Amino acid sequence: MQLVDLQVALSVHEVACNRFLNRLSHRLNNMNPPDQQGIATEATIESIQQALNDLLHQLAPSLSKKSEAMASDPISRIEYCMTLVKSEASLAASLIADCAPQGRPMLAQAQQTLKSLESLQRLGKTAIKA
């Protein structure tokens, strides 16, 4: 798969994540307190953690693989993946400084991945608080 294809796929996942966050936020804002209690009993911490791990795998399969040992704490896992992506972005910036042609696409991909992970992190923190 080419870098452009990966960027497009990542962008599609990011849009889907953001739409999901917007729908979830809209539903939570429009619910009565008894309805919100019903959701809290339906969604267990374990199911939320599994959903976060599944989304992480969809957004960044290679990062998901590198952080499999942290599956029991998906928020920390996402933060760890963000650290890995920031390292990749730093490497990309160094390549750009050295006029290497692969630096710019690499930086763009890292920025998109980081944005998606930040969205997933917000989703996870919101879901676990609820």
Q: What is the share, in percent, of the chain residues with pLDDT greater than 90?
A: 64
Query: What digits encode the pLDDT tens for the residues 82-107?
Result: 999 999 999 999 999 999 999 999 99
Q: In 10 A of CB 50, how many CB atoms? A: 13
Least Cα distance to 121 among 10, 7, 18, 6 occurs for 18
What residue ranges do the domains of the chain occupy? 3-129
Q: Are 122 and 16 in contact (CB under 8 A)?
A: no
- pLDDT band for position 129 (50/70/90)? confident
- If you ran DSSP here, which 8-state letter would residue 86 be given? H
